[in-house]
Amino acid sequence: MGSVFPEEIFLEILSRLPVKSLMRFKCVSKSWYFLIRDPRLGELHLLHHRSRHLDSLNIALCHRSAPRLRSYKLVGEEITRWEQNMFGMDWVGYGPYGLQIMSCEGLICFVQDEIVHVCNPTTGELERLPRTCSFGPLAFGFGYDPTRKEYKVVRPILCSLVDEIVSRSEVITLGDDGGWRTIEQSVELVRGRPVTLNGVIYWMSKSKLVTFNVGDESFGETEVPSIFKDNLPDGAMLVVLHGKLCLVNNVRHDDGWNGELHIWMLKDRTSNLWTKEYCFEPHRCGMPWDVTPVCMWREKIVLQHKGYRFFFYDLETRTFSEVRGDWDRLPYDLITDYMESLVTVKRGDIRRPLCLPPCGTLERNKRKRYEGEQKKKDKDVNLS
């Protein structure tokens, strides 16, 4: 295609198209196939679509007792089923450590017991990572290094031996054949679902947040709001809203039936400045009191209740509304939002030089091949 457009301009144009359209272009020719899978296009596509005002929101759901990864699309005020059973996988008979699901920059990482898969739900690619060398409670993190443009899975491990408690971690880079690497750094016992923000993975521990820098593979700590300095509540959770790390806590009233949703936002990590950004009572609007946030979308907080009811909280009007839709309404307990992307999860270097001919040249080549095949057929007929 270099004879019509410079390579950089051509990639820039394609990076602004929807993933589904680009996936269809893979069938044009071998050159187009490698182009759509080129990491440079995937990176550009992420860059453009990360900052766009998206028309729809993608949500992946999974249920522990009947584990299938399903995806739904939220458009306007309605949610619709997008994919009934992504990748055709059923996780039956999983071990004592259960399931975990995380998303980051267009990819989803899900862990079945101690088996780790990374997938791109938009392109349908699925990669099973090597099994870790350690056993213990299920604690994983999934993050992206924006500097080196690498995805990594990390596993903090705290296990009790005969006469000591051993703390260490394992990390693996997606696409690296080196397997899991050991990090000899002491880490507190972590709990809850982690979140990733700006190249850092966050978990909750007993009274603080444990952090992992995806780039330099180092652990650290972040203080929580002073009200939680002695002990984080069991129902607390982490979420990213407005591009900021938030700590969510449901506070139940004395009657046991109603409560408040408190959302604390980390305004400045350097000075450890937390503010109570939102505080509302869902039950006053006819919603269950124990709803939890999923993500932000269009200046609205998307909330869920036990995975089968979804709500909006409009930050401008400070009103609630329930998301309409026709879906199976099972009580999903593993929920994550994800962004459509072209990022590949397969190993190996798929980069190829861009040597695409203009579209007119493609058509001429097709016509020449067709005419050549027809001449060959006519010749075979005459010989017979």
**DSSP labels, 264-306:** EEEEETTTTEEEEEEEE-GGGGTS-TT-EEEEEETTEEEEEET
Residue type at 68 in one-letter notation: R
At 26 the pLDDT is 84
Over residues 346-364, mean pLDDT: 42
At 370 the pLDDT is 43
At 245 the pLDDT is 95
Please check whether residue 60 is in contact with residue 70, taking contact to mean a CB–CB distance below 8 angstroms: yes
| 160-164, 226-230, 370-374: least confident range | 370-374
This prediction has a pTM of 0.81
Q: What mean pLDDT value characterizes the chain?
A: 78
Over residues 23-44, mean pLDDT: 85
Q: Which listed CATH number (2.30.110.10, 3.60.21.10, 2.30.30.190, 2.120.10.80) goes with 98-222?
A: 2.120.10.80
- The yes-or-no verdict on residue 109 having pLDDT over 60 is yes
Q: Give the pair of three-digit tokens for residue 151.
A: 């995805």
Residue 133 — left, alpha, or beta (φ > 0 → left; ψ -120 to 50 → alpha)?
A: alpha
Model confidence band, residue 84 (pLDDT cutoffs 50, 70, 90): low
Over residues 346-357, mean pLDDT: 43
pLDDT tens digits, 35-48: 888 888 888 888 88
Q: What is the largest distance, in Å, between two alpha-carbon atoms of the chain? A: 94
CA–CA separation, 59 and 336 (whole Å): 6
- Residue 53, C-beta contacts closer than 8 angstroms, at least 6 positions apart: 298
Over residues 120-147, mean pLDDT: 84
What's the count of helices (H) and strands (E) in the chain, helices before strands?
A: 5, 25
- The yes-or-no verdict on residue 349 having pLDDT over 50 is no
At 137 the pLDDT is 66
pLDDT tens digits, 295-310: 888 788 888 887 678 8
Q: 119-132 burial by CB neighbour count: b if 16+ within 10 A, else e?
A: bbbbbebbbebeeb
Over residues 341-356, mean pLDDT: 57
**DSSP labels, 212-275:** EETTTTEEEEEPPPGGGSS---TT-EEEEETTEEEEEEEEE-TTSS-EEEEEEEEEETTTTEEE
Over residues 85-97, mean pLDDT: 50
Helix orientation angle between 7-14 and 39-50, rounded to the nearest 10 degrees: 50
345-349 CB contacts, 8 Å cutoff, 24+ apart: 345/107, 345/118, 345/119, 345/120, 345/125, 345/126, 345/127, 345/174, 345/175, 346/125, 346/127, 346/175, 347/127, 347/175, 347/177, 348/175
pLDDT tens digits, 205-233: 988 999 999 999 999 999 999 988 888 88
pLDDT tens digits, 261-307: 899 999 998 899 999 998 888 877 777 777 888 888 878 888 888 76
